[in-house]
Structure 1
Amino acid sequence: MNIFKKPIIQINNIGNSNGKSLNNQSQQQQQQPILLTITPQEIRNKFDELNEVESNRIIEGLNSPTTSIWSLTAAISKQNKNRNRYTNVTPWNETRVKLPIKQDSYSDYINASYINLSTSKNSMKNSYIACQGPLDNTRNQFWSMCFNESEKQQNDIGIIVMVTPLIEQGLVKCDKYWPELGEKWSFGSKNLEDGLIYDDLTVENINESYDENNDYLLTELILKSGLKQKKIYHFYYYKWADARTPPSSIPLQNLSNHINEIKQLDEQNPPVPIVHCSAGVGRSGTFMVYDHLFKNKAKYKEILKSNPTKDLIYKTVFQLRTQRMMMVQTVYQYNFLYDVARDIYNNE
């Protein structure tokens, strides 16, 4: 199967009085970007194709664990199984984030993946970390990852984007892993137990505020170890149901804009957002595609006009899934991105 095949556009020449006008209409459609003319069935076919490619990767990774770039050995090892929220959503070995451990006898595993997206010869580049919603037994590991990644980026600012409610239909989708306003948590004893290097790590909630539309809660926290501390901006968007699409794209745009403002606080070493939902694939992946492609709408439209045959949605989701499985998990979420792409191009 050729995963990069281009869609075939057929032109029907009808030998009647309407033939000329129909042919002109077809030619005009060809000149439009493919994102504007793609049919629902073609979108479904492309999503099925992405799933088929991914299924083959998983099979290869399981059958050839020592040689395949799609290997999952760290995630499915007995030592790490209780660190996964879902048994069927795990990071590829190749792109997984590793925890900072004191020695190899401890596990460096966390269900998180590095994501790097690039579009149109690097005219759009964005990096993220995609992560599952923390469990009660992985709180300390999550915060240790946050501190360590900030250290590697050489900045003192962190961004967390949470795009899931804590509970849906009576089921826990994510642990309440941050303290209440005015509270301070210490992870010293748990980090010692897990062999993590930050054995005096603390996190303190210093401020909370809702955006003007009450779509998300911004919590400001201080994450500290030794003499170093990080200012963490935690965005909690709680109106997005599991496996579905958001009620509107407007909150995503507001969230994306606010995150970009925080990133500009350190222009030399902007923080890489850590994005999570429950499994860290469906809503997380959908938000990343939105943020990557549509954050700068003028640039998106410019790229689309100069590359009308390029399916930016398909190519971006394809990139995502090479770095973490199941990203943009459902056909509803996949279709939502095409709807947004059309709306932005046509209406703004």
Structure 2
Amino acid sequence: LENKAEDLLDLDPVPQTPVFDMGSETRTEGDAVTLTVTPVGLQERRGSNVSLTLDMCTPGCTEPYGYGAQLSPRDQSAQEYLRQGTHILTPAMLHIRAMDDQSLQAEFYETPMNFVDPKEYNYPGLVRKNRYKTILPNTHSRVILKSLGEDDFLTTYINANYLKGYGGEEGAYIATQGPTVNTVGDFWRMVWQERSPIIVMITNLEEKNEKCAEYWPEDTVTHEGIEITVISVTQEDDYSLRVFTLKCGGEERSLRQYWYTSWPDQKTPDKAPPLLELVQEVERAREEAPPSSGPTIVHCSAGIGRTGCFIATSILCKQLRTEGVVDILRTTCQLRLDRGGMIQTCEQYQFVHHVLSLYEKQLSHAAEE
């Protein structure tokens, strides 16, 4: 089970945040320790030299949304930080900031991760529904699958959260893990239930180990009463586009899947253009989708790292066009309130700054012409 936590490896062999792994944990200090992933194990490590980073990231932020949960003072302050965090950047500030690794690191590490305490999900059989056992959907915003008659928690569960879009637009996106062999049926139930017009997939099927099951057919397949048929496949430079027809209960819909494969080499800012192009392409497709359409579904492997970068970039491009400024910290905080760990590493946080800096240059260049 040498499962590496999500997409860190693509960016940097030593992840900059404590990301909870299947068995071991890599840290800034490089003091790799073996960690049995139990809430208690994490609590006990609070006194260590990485306690600051861990404190922000320790699962234990129970959601303060009507569960009557008593938040510890630290969890309370983490929630408040995420609700209030802001750093508005003008174009000039953005370009300088994108190059200032130290300031970005400081900002990234101060921002709480808001991971879920695994104790929130104490249901037998749930393990098979999660790709990484410590990356779980925050309870207040999780996607609930309508169960087929029986009131069974497992049939309603999928590791996915609704995320707000630009200007607080409700349910603009769904962030989810890459489907596993066990959850392909649940994934398609969600696509149909939510009327999603677009799936953005930002991972290869394998990178050192399995990152995502191949959940779509070569030509046609039926999952949970939903018939999925491939209509066309187009190969672009950095992604492929599949257009599907979905049929269920006499209704027929169209679905587009953008499969972006050029991420693993993304260690440098010069990889910003392909991501920016994908964001814009997905935005165009979104505008052309039927008005009854639901959220855009975005996934990588764990559904927090690259997924967070894509959704944040999407929101921030709109903010830049609309307001002429960006607030990358604010957007990160808002995403993490709804799904812990969004934008998972410091490199990813820097990368989002590079992408926005590039986008601003493109916009002002176009304006001059």
TM-score with structure 2 setting the length = 0.68
Against the structure 1 CA distance between its residues 72 and 341, is the aligned structure 2 distance closer, same or farther, given a 3 Å change threshold?
Answer: farther
> How many residue pairs are counted as aligned between the two chains?
278
Percent of aligned positions that are identical = 30
Where does the alignment leave 5 or more consecutive residues of structure 2 unmatched?
A: 1-76
For residue 272 of structure 2, what is the amino acid of its counterpart? S
Cα drift, residue 244 of structure 1: 5.4
- Equivalent residue number for residue 188 of structure 2: 143
Distance 2:126 2:229 in 1: 28
Distance 1:148 1:338 in 2: 34
Judge conservation of contact 1:245–1:332 (CA < 8 Å) in 2. Answer: no
The alignment partner of 1:146 has SS state of: helix
Judge conservation of contact 2:240–2:260 (CA < 8 Å) in 1. Answer: yes
> 1:142-221 maps to which residues of 2 (within 5 A)?
142-150=187-195, 158-169=197-208, 171-180=209-218, 183-187=219-223, 191=224, 200-211=225-236, 214-221=237-244
- Residue 90 (1) aligns with residue 136 (2): yes
> 1:1-348 maps to which residues of 2 (within 5 A)?
3=81, 4=84, 34-38=93-97, 39-50=100-111, 53-54=112-113, 57-58=114-115, 62=117, 73-74=120-121, 76-102=122-148, 103-105=150-152, 107=154, 108-119=156-167, 127-150=172-195, 158-169=197-208, 171-180=209-218, 183-187=219-223, 191=224, 200-211=225-236, 214-241=237-264, 248-266=271-289, 268-294=291-317, 298-299=321-322, 302-304=323-325, 312-346=327-361, 348=365
Against the structure 1 CA distance between its residues 215 and 92, is the aligned structure 2 distance closer, same or farther, given a 3 Å change threshold?
Answer: same
Cα drift, residue 229 of structure 1: 1.7
Cα drift, residue 239 of structure 1: 1.1
For residue 97 of structure 1, what is the amino acid of its counterpart? V
Who wins on radius of gyration, i.e. which is larger?
1
- Equivalent residue number for residue 17 of structure 1: none
Cα drift, residue 345 of structure 1: 3.1
Cα drift, residue 339 of structure 1: 2.0
Against the structure 1 CA distance between its residues 277 and 242, is the aligned structure 2 distance closer, same or farther, given a 3 Å change threshold?
Answer: farther
Distance 1:206 1:346 in 2: 37
For residue 105 of structure 1, what is the amino acid of its counterpart? D
Cα drift, residue 315 of structure 1: 0.6
CA RMSD of aligned residues (A): 2.8
Higher relative contact order (CA 8 A, sep 6+): 2
TM-score with structure 1 setting the length = 0.72
Distance 1:175 1:260 in 2: 26
Judge conservation of contact 2:243–2:257 (CA < 8 Å) in 1. Answer: yes
Distance 1:42 1:91 in 2: 30
Judge conservation of contact 2:85–2:333 (CA < 8 Å) in 1. Answer: no
For residue 303 of structure 1, what is the amino acid of its counterpart? G
Distance 1:303 1:207 in 2: 38
Distance 1:221 1:36 in 2: 40
Which stretches of structure 1, 4 residues or longer, exceed 6 Å deviation after superposition?
none
- Equivalent residue number for residue 25 of structure 2: none
Judge conservation of contact 1:92–1:325 (CA < 8 Å) in 2. Answer: yes
Distance 2:86 2:193 in 1: 42
For residue 160 of structure 1, what is the amino acid of its counterpart? I
For residue 84 of structure 1, what is the amino acid of its counterpart? N
